[in-house]
Amino acid sequence: GQNIDQPTEMTATEGAIVQINCTYQTSGFNGLFWYQQHAGEAPTFLSYNVLDGLEEKGRFSSFLSRSKGYSYLLLKELQMKDSASYLCAVIKAAGNKLTFGGGTRVLVKP
């Protein structure tokens, strides 16, 4: 089976930085994804890490350590529109089957 853990909720101030951690235990790991989901909307793809290290895309960065079963999503220069749920998901080697964590709801305050 697969266990994917991430915090339930985080609060941060506009302009600040927030780091959302995700730990996983799985066999046949082939990559880790982060999705953003605003309330009542579709999840949208943010990042995909398959190798160890940091991937940067503008204000968002994602890090992966395969040996530690650990990833984080870093949101910089927070904006009010970043208030959303952030979903960590792992994919196995075969197929496109994504297994999701419970999601972290981030609330950005003025």
Q: According to CB under 8 A, which one of 18, 43, 62, 86 is a site residue for another protein?
A: 43
1 binds another protein (CB under 8 A): no
| 48-87 residues near another protein, rule: CB under 8 A | 48, 50, 87
Strand partners of residue 60? 57, 75
Residue 46 amino acid letter? L
How many residues at the interface with another protein, by CB under 8 A?
26
Q: According to CB under 8 A, which one of 11, 13, 25, 44 is a site residue for another protein?
A: 44
| 20-39 residues near another protein, rule: CB under 8 A | 30-31, 35
All residues at 6 or more sequence positions from 24 whose CB lies less than 8 Å from its CB, including other chains: 2, 3, 4, 5, 32, 69, 70, 71, 88, 90, 101
Other C-beta atoms lying within 10 Å of the C-beta of residue 98? 14
Nearer to another protein, 40 or 58 (CB): 40
All residues at 6 or more sequence positions from 95 whose CB lies less than 8 Å from its CB, including other chains: none
Cβ(30)–Cβ(48) below 8 Å: no
Nearer to another protein, 32 or 78 (CB): 32
Q: Binding residues for another protein, per CB under 8 A?
A: 4, 30-31, 35, 40-45, 48, 50, 87, 89, 91, 93-103
